[in-house]
Structure 1
């Protein structure tokens, strides 16, 4: 009887452990620069994500420029929503093409919650949704919000997302005006997510001057979500860029660990790696 009881208790403990693990994990699909009705890229990327066997449990994160050339509500409904509207869980930040529509009205008609804001993903993981298009008083207010959010985020694994990358090997290159965001996240964010340059790139941990540093922040550019693709730019910031192919970033958060894979629109893995939360 004692042996039976021990096995029973062990089974209960195992079930509890499995439940805790599942509550601590989440799956993200990250894209940007989509919704060009003149190209097939968006349809190809969306189809590639849906071929993932666990696509239904994932959260879609869009890092700006949801439709081209201007993300009006009409353009979004015609060129974006037919491919992405069916995802049950979606988060997004606006890009410059979203702001080409006055007050980004089309974007906010689909994603009415405010930006900036902080979203809990799973376990210790939280996402800071930021807007790199803001100006003057709105920009200053966002920086104040970010300072307060970071002060309250001790013991959390932070991901930050905004459209224009601080560092990039792509056509547009570095976005100097995002320096205030980047500098505030040094030593605090586990990694950041961006679009704008139409390629994929996994950049190493870089400091405030763009130099490799253990205390710097890694970042991902996911601008190959369906718009016209760019060639490499003049300055190489990393050796992990994918140019000339549409695709998406698959990100798994599990406890304090994260794993990522960059998929092409052909469904093949182009790059992958893993890391650990920065607490």
Structure 2
């Protein structure tokens, strides 16, 4: 009797991840409500999570009653406001535990780490380059990309390389982009400017490239909005009036993004993409 062929494995179910930066903020109660409505499997933050200085008190009184509801599924990254407190101690004390060296926010001397969900690797990086050993972070990133086994890769941090907003692009982020581009990563998620910007896939020099990274700037987590101050190529969508979050629906080989505004605001954006084939 011929052996029975094994059944093909069922494709993994889609997973949902929510992202935003620049959060608490006067409107973070409203954005936290949107997170609850989406009911994601994971939440990531793109820095400046608790204004104005990321103290432990600000995290406990502003962030914790709102976005803190999702702390057990949150994978944060630090912004410049976190470092208004020496060594971002309030940020690390909140996410890791008071005085704990290594925890949910990574090693407190580094602030970068990675995690996986479904067929996706997410890499949280620290764009406060003067506060850490940037060369060590870049070396670590290249190593994690070299050993990655996931089809799809997204990275996130605070300071964007490309932005239309009032801040200038952070050129020190270009080596991170280059490492991600060389490894055929798919998404970069950032904040810092308090608005929403979606770019078409591009290379680290800002040239349109179907094999490049799609950057989504989602500094809309709850702080007052910044206007746009310049034009850049490859911008597919932008809005400077809304607070809200980015909902990512992730399959094993592709993604869908939706900007979901807070109640009473109407701006929406949707996009899709297919993960690059990895070397």
TM over 0.5: yes
Number of the residue aligned with 2:41: 58
Structure 2 counterpart SS, 1:273:
strand
- The residue aligned with 1:100 is 84
Partner of 2:65, secondary structure, is helix
Contact 2:77–2:157 (CA<8 Å) still a contact in 1?
yes
Indicate if the aligned counterparts of 2:218 and 2:246 stay in contact, CA closer than 8 A: yes
Following superposition, the deviation at residue 207 of structure 1 comes to: 1.2
Question: Which residue pairs with 2:255 in the alignment?
Answer: 258
1:157 to 117, 142, 152: 152
Count of residues in correspondence between the two structures:
257
SS in 2 for 1:135: helix
Q: Give the C-alpha shift of residue 137 in structure 1.
A: 6.3
Matching residue of 2:100: none
Q: Give the structure with the higher percent helix.
A: 1
Normalised to the residue count of structure 1, the TM-score between the two structures is: 0.86
Distance 1:48 1:268, change over 3 A: farther
Q: Show the counterpart of 1:273.
A: 271
What is the RMSD of the two structures over their aligned residues, measured on CA atoms? Answer: 2.1
* Bigger Cα displacement from structure 2, 181-190 vs 73-82: 181-190
In the alignment, the residues of structure 2 paired with residue 136 and residue 196 of structure 1 have an alpha-carbon distance, to the nearest angstrom, of 17
Secondary structure at the counterpart of residue 48 of structure 1: helix
Contact 1:126 1:158 in 2 (8 A): yes
Secondary structure of 2:76's match? Answer: strand
Q: Is the 8 A contact 1:158 1:191 kept in 2?
A: yes
Instruction: List structure 1 runs of 4+ shifted beyond 3 angstroms.
Output: none
Structure 2 residues without counterparts, runs of 5 or longer: 97-102
Query: Structure 2 matches for 1:83-232, cutoff 5 A?
Result: 83-87=66-70, 88-112=72-96, 113=103, 114=106, 115-122=111-118, 124-135=119-130, 138-153=133-148, 156-187=151-182, 188-232=184-228
- Which TM-score applies when normalising by structure 2? 0.86
Judge conservation of contact 1:173–1:197 (CA < 8 Å) in 2.
Answer: no
Larger Rg belongs to: 1
Q: 140-149 or 234-243: which moved more? A: 234-243
Partner of 1:4: none
Q: Distance in 1 between matches of 2:156 and 2:130?
A: 18
